Structure 1
Amino acid sequence: MERKAGEVAIRRLVASALSLAVAGVVHAQPAPPGADRVEQLEAKVEAQDRQIESLRRMLVEQQRSIEALGSDVQARQLDALRARGEAAGTPSPLAPAFAAAGAAAPVAAMPAAASAAVPITAAANAAVPAAMQASAGNPGDARMQVGRPPEALSRPPEVAPIFDQPGVLTPRGTFILEPSMQFGYSSNDRVALVGYTIIPAILIGLIDVRQVKTTSLTAALAGRYGIGDRFELELKVPYTYVNGDTVSREIFTGTAQDSVFNADGRGIGDVELTARYQLANRGPDRPFYVLWLRYKSRTGRDLFEVTTDCVTRCVANATGTGLPLELPTGSGFEAIQPGVTWLYASDPVVFFGSFSYLHNFKRDNVSRTVLTGAPEGFPQTTTEPIGDVEAGDILGFNLGMGLALNEKAAISIGYDQSLVGKTRQNGEDSPGSVRVILGTLVLGGSYRLSDRASLNVALGVGVTRDTPDMSLSVRVPISF
């Protein structure tokens, strides 16, 4: 019995020891490896989600960049057809990149403003095509930041300029000096009947017939400077020479011989200052808009400052002509003119036009100097008060289209019309003042002489009786 009891005690002791040993082993054993692996996998999944989201955003940016580059390619192809002036066969710095991306390479080279070196981030390099990365890695090629539209999209297409207001602004930091020469000629006939009729078509009395022929030559020097990507200022200083011949048969004299009255004038004209701002463009299939504001001074010698031949009888039976003895070189009124110019590209032509409104500021207490016709020893001139004078405002518009012939030459055709209001004197319509419509058909051409200079020629033909018969202008813009 004692032996059995000892064996039972030993068994119990061994069982206790085994249970303690098993418990110690159980407590000393680490946690199952599956729990840590789950946590690690969850962390990896979260990291991959963040990476996938980053790649997705990068893909969206790359897609926008590719779309912008494709639009830029279309714009450059249109510009090449419109004679942007690039040398023939000049490859684009991004031509290999466009070829690798499956887009057509642009014909014209990228402008200097768009080809400035812009660093490309390492993350962006991972999604850029290999050909574009190679182009960006070459210091001689242009670099483009991912997700940023090319600056070339902000420039409207260039056409042969035929109107006063250009549609393409000066690039940032560029100065353009533009000497110009304009020749104009106009001829007007005026017939005045003084008498009475006894039967139709038979006049008893005198006939006053006048022909006024005016020739003008204006040399101007304009300077434009690009302050920002879409803003420029222009200053224009003209010098004018005007010659006028008036052929008439004076009334109340009964002579059959024509008399000619000649007058001319020369000097500085009205200096102009213009500011232009281009609105943001949304793509090559949208029109470009340029807002501008022009201020015209009255630095030129005006009609009120020159001496006028007497209107009443001067000496004996001779009558005065009432014409100025010296022709003015300025309008005599300060004016401000807001306007908008638009351009729309429709391959292979470019449509363009503008709307403007010119307001002349009123002048108070105006007077003019008139010959008296008095004998020698008496005053030969006298001052004749006129009062308050307000020249009529001008509402103008023009439209045209341009077509490129090759990489250097382009032609344009357009129509310009202005509606001139009545002149008012002392709050009332001036005697003999009427509304006038001026219409001009304009033909022009442009030829690129070099990378910095171009030759622009425009011929205007009047289509209304009040419009000058012909005007020919030549401009040579030179960029620095």
Structure 2
Amino acid sequence: MPDNNVYNNLQSAACRGSALLLLAATISPLAVAQGGAGDERIREAQPSQSVKDVLREEHALFSRRLTIEPGISYSYSDRSELGLSGFLALDAIFLGNISVDNVESHTTTFDLTARYGITDRLEVQLAIPYVYRNSRYETGGAGGNPDAPVDATVEQGRLGDVSAGVYYRVLPEAEVRPDVVWNLSVRAPTGKHPYDIRTTTIDRGDGELENLTVPKDLPSGNGVWGVSTGLSFLKTVDPAIIFANVGYTHNIERSFDDISSGEEAVPGDVNLGDTISLGFGTAFALNQRFSLSMSLSHQHSFETKITSGGREQEVIGSGANAASVNFGATYGLTDSTSIVTNVGVGMTDDAPDFTLDFRVPFQM
């Protein structure tokens, strides 16, 4: 009987051990598979530094971290106007005086932008610019003498218009749809407005007034409150990223004590024309830290209307169409600091001839 009990106990232990081994063999592959899938999801949630740079500059990053982005941008524009005083003979020969007016504008903007991702779908932004402008005015044929050109330079630097905005992810990117972000921003008239700037006429020094009139000061802002809204779209097509945006800016009408460039103050209301903007482009992440981009941007501004003395009138020539082609590059120095450069070439007369942007965003 003892031998039979020992044998039965050994047989029961062997059965229990086999069951445990079978259960372990069944559970282990499932646990390994779940752990592998979790690691893969973590890897997919961490895009490369070059992709992050493209998202931050062209869309929104939603990183849940504070990003500080100091930057400097420079733009140059050159406009020439030909003034004719006379008549055309035989449809080919002009008889009279010719005056050539040329304006060269150099604008340098130092700005500090702060972004913070509150959630993975909500981000806020604040931008503070400082604008330095240098404009050179030149005219030929002054006083009827084409050999006596007159020129003058005006420069000024001061705070620009401060803006604040919010970005909200409406739809996350999926296999068949892009990532869609809605934005809303407000621009405050903290800069110098252009509606009461006095002008002066250049005197050559011999008592003869010339035909060159220049402003005594230069503006650094629009002078009115502005509200902007729009949508941006982004789709990843490895190794490229395709993006597009559309926006609308409404400028709120404002009253001023003086809107004249003369010595006498003239009060009035300024209804700055609204603006429609759109753009699209693509970026290529060449490796983990370096990317290249190219895009086209267009902005159409409607005419400005001024009300003075109870009568509203449209400012002739105040509407504008500005289109430019942009080429950019980003390089990630570290996981939290990057260098962003962009070069723009104007395609229309209302766009700057040349723009250059240089930014160094870093996350804290």
Where on the TM-score scale, by shorter chain, does this alignment land: which range? 0.7 to 0.9
**Aligned CA distance change for structure 1 residues 187 and 160 (closer, same or farther; 3 Å):** farther
Q: Which residue pairs with 1:428 in the alignment?
A: 313
CA contact (8 A) 1:220 1:237 kept: yes
Unaligned runs of 5+ in 2: 1-25
CA contact (8 A) 1:441 1:461 kept: yes
**Aligned CA distance change for structure 1 residues 160 and 143 (closer, same or farther; 3 Å):** closer
Task: Map residues 90-129 of structure 1 onto 2, 5 A cutoff.
Answer: 129=30
- Matches of 1:383 and 1:411, distance apart in 2: 53
Q: Which residue pairs with 1:417 in the alignment?
A: 298
1:393 aligns with 2:274: yes
Q: Which residue pairs with 1:168 in the alignment?
A: 60
432, 449, 452: which one pairs with 2:333?
A: 449
Task: Map residues 309-348 of structure 1 onto 2, 5 A cutoff.
Answer: 309=200, 317-319=208-210, 321-348=212-239
CA contact (8 A) 1:409 1:448 kept: yes
Q: Which residue pairs with 1:130 in the alignment?
A: 31
CA contact (8 A) 2:259 2:268 kept: no
- Matches of 2:80 and 2:339, distance apart in 1: 36
Task: Map residues 270-309 of structure 1 onto 2, 5 A cutoff.
Answer: 270-281=161-172, 283-309=174-200
- Matches of 1:465 and 1:264, distance apart in 2: 23
Task: Map residues 110-259 of structure 1 onto 2, 5 A cutoff.
Answer: 129-132=30-33, 152=45, 158=51, 161=54, 166-172=58-64, 174-249=65-140, 252-259=143-150
Q: Which residue pairs with 1:407 in the alignment?
A: 288
AA matched with 1:304: Y
SS at match of 1:279: strand
- Matches of 1:282 and 1:325, distance apart in 2: 52
CA contact (8 A) 1:207 1:251 kept: no
SS at match of 1:211: strand
What's the CA shift for 1:322?
Answer: 3.8
What's the CA shift for 1:159?
Answer: 6.2
CA contact (8 A) 1:161 1:444 kept: no
Q: Which residue pairs with 1:9 in the alignment?
A: none
What's the CA shift for 1:292?
Answer: 0.2
CA contact (8 A) 1:159 1:410 kept: no
CA contact (8 A) 2:187 2:226 kept: yes
SS at match of 1:131: helix
CA contact (8 A) 2:259 2:266 kept: yes
**Aligned CA distance change for structure 1 residues 289 and 171 (closer, same or farther; 3 Å):** same
- Matches of 1:414 and 1:218, distance apart in 2: 21
CA contact (8 A) 1:303 1:331 kept: yes
**Aligned CA distance change for structure 1 residues 168 and 296 (closer, same or farther; 3 Å):** same
CA contact (8 A) 1:404 1:410 kept: yes
CA contact (8 A) 1:217 1:242 kept: yes
CA contact (8 A) 1:302 1:328 kept: yes
The alignment's TM-score, normalised by the length of structure 2, stands at: 0.81
- Matches of 2:90 and 2:54, distance apart in 1: 56
- Structure showing the higher helix proportion among its residues: 1
- Matched-pair identity in %: 26
- Structure showing the higher strand proportion among its residues: 2
What's the CA shift for 1:386?
Answer: 5.7
SS at match of 2:161: coil
1:42-81 C-alpha deviation (Å, 9 max, x unpaired): xxxxxxxxxxxxxxxxxxxxxxxxxxxxxxxxxxxxxxxx
Which of these two proteins has the greater Rg computed from alpha carbons? 1
AA matched with 1:438: A
Unaligned runs of 5+ in 1: 1-124, 372-381
What's the CA shift for 1:392?
Answer: 1.5
SS at match of 1:467: coil
SS at match of 1:238: strand
**Aligned CA distance change for structure 1 residues 282 and 169 (closer, same or farther; 3 Å):** closer
SS at match of 1:129: helix
Q: Which residue pairs with 1:42 in the alignment?
A: none
AA matched with 2:275: I
- Matches of 1:291 and 1:217, distance apart in 2: 29
- Matches of 1:362 and 1:165, distance apart in 2: 31
SS at match of 1:168: coil
1:181-226 C-alpha deviation (Å, 9 max, x unpaired): 1011111111111223343233333222111111111110010111
CA contact (8 A) 2:249 2:274 kept: yes
AA matched with 1:283: A
